[in-house]
Amino acid sequence: MLQKQDGYSCEAGIEAEMAVNNRHCKLNSFTRLAVLASGSGTNLASLIDAVKTGIIENAAIALVISNKKDAYALTRAEKAGIPILYAQRSLFNSDEEYDLFLKKKLNDYKIDFVLLAGYLRILTKPFLQAYENRILNIHPSLLPDFGGKDMYGTKVHQSVIEAKVKKSGCSVHVVTEEIDGGPVLSQATVPVMPDDTSETLAARILIEEHKLYPKTINEFIKDK
Ligand code: GRF
């Protein structure tokens, strides 16, 4: 177990990683994915399933990272036997230092691609450059609409409802320095109903997210 003075705690250690490797990864021939999540992790759950069922081919989720200690995503990962890392921002002097630390961990775990799944931090340059064109995100709107700074969670759906648009959906995009501005790889559309609340709309979109993200990831990593 790594200690807090190292700047983080790693609950499931190397043994867990080896267990995962033995089960899912023949090192080298498997693409190693890391998922960064801050919340409940329903997208993470769909990615775990997709790896298991082969919707995402020849890949393993080798590490799940969160900036929130109580993120249910971490519990889901632990239950699936995936190593987890909780990294507390306040233990670092700057966002860059924090991200450099994450980058080092991703390097230790030999991560090929980073998947953001409800990760509520903006990644800084050193991280983005290290994983240029290898970080994907899913956003719960039809980008470029209803994206950008402070557009996350219920705010997105509330804005969609207030704008009285007839459809919304989700977008998978490559992560670049521009928030929600990287190339869009895929989208799924849902209707916005007259009596929708942000909760009902979010739930309708999440169903699509859970299908779209795994399929898009599979296509993306196959091409690389
Ligand atoms: C999803 O709506 C996703 O589009 C957005 O954050 C939310 C994460 O939900 N980026 P969950 O934690 O995967 O349930």
- pLDDT tens digit sequence for 115-164: 999 999 999 999 999 999 999 999 999 999 999 999 999 999 999 999 99
What separation in angstroms does the CA of 220 have from each of 71, 100, 109, 121, 138?
27, 25, 21, 23, 13
Q: pLDDT band at residue 11, thresholds of 50, 70 and 90?
A: very low
CA distance 208 to 124: 29
Q: Is 64 helix (H, G, I), strand (E, B) or coil?
A: strand
Q: Is 213 helix (H, G, I), strand (E, B) or coil?
A: helix
Q: Where does the chain hold its CATH 3.40.50.170 domain(s)?
A: 1-132, 137-224
Task: Mention every residue, 6+ apart, whose C-beta is less than 8 A from residue 2.
Answer: 8, 9, 10, 13
- Locate all alpha helices (DSSP H) within 12-164, ordered by sequence: 14-24, 42-53, 72-79, 95-108, 125-130, 154-162
CA distance 14 to 167: 45
In the predicted structure, residue 26 carries a pLDDT above the cut 60: no
- Percent of the chain's residues with pLDDT above 90: 86
In the predicted structure, residue 1 carries a pLDDT above the cut 60: no
pLDDT of residue 12: 38
pLDDT of residue 28: 55
The structure's pTM equals 0.89
Q: Tens digit of pLDDT for each residue in 57-109?
A: 999 999 999 999 999 999 999 999 999 999 999 999 999 999 999 999 999 99
pLDDT of residue 29: 78
Catalytic: 139?
A: yes
More confident of the two residues 30 and 23: 30
Q: List beta partners, residue 174.
A: 136
CA of 28 to the centre of ligand 1 (A): 30
Q: Tens digit of pLDDT for each residue in 29-48?
A: 799 999 999 999 999 999 99
pLDDT of residue 97: 98
* CB 42 less than 6 A from any atom of ligand 1: yes
More confident of the two residues 11 and 157: 157
pLDDT of residue 6: 34
Work out the mean pLDDT of the chain and round it to a whole number. 90
CA distance 217 to 113: 9
Query: Which residue among 24, 139, 157, 173 is the active-site one?
Result: 139
Angle at 144 between CA 141 and CA 148, to 5 degrees: 80
Least confident residue range of 19-28, 42-51, 187-196: 19-28
The architecture of the domain spanning 137-224 is: 3-Layer(aba) Sandwich (3.40)
* CB 175 less than 6 A from any atom of ligand 1: no
Hey, what's the torsion of the CAs at 201, 206, 207, 211, to 10 degrees?
140
> Of all helices (H) and strands (E), which one includes residue 216?
helix 198-222
* CB 158 less than 6 A from any atom of ligand 1: no
pLDDT of residue 224: 83
CA distance 223 to 220: 5
Tell me the CATH number for domain 1-132: 3.40.50.170
* CB 114 less than 6 A from any atom of ligand 1: no
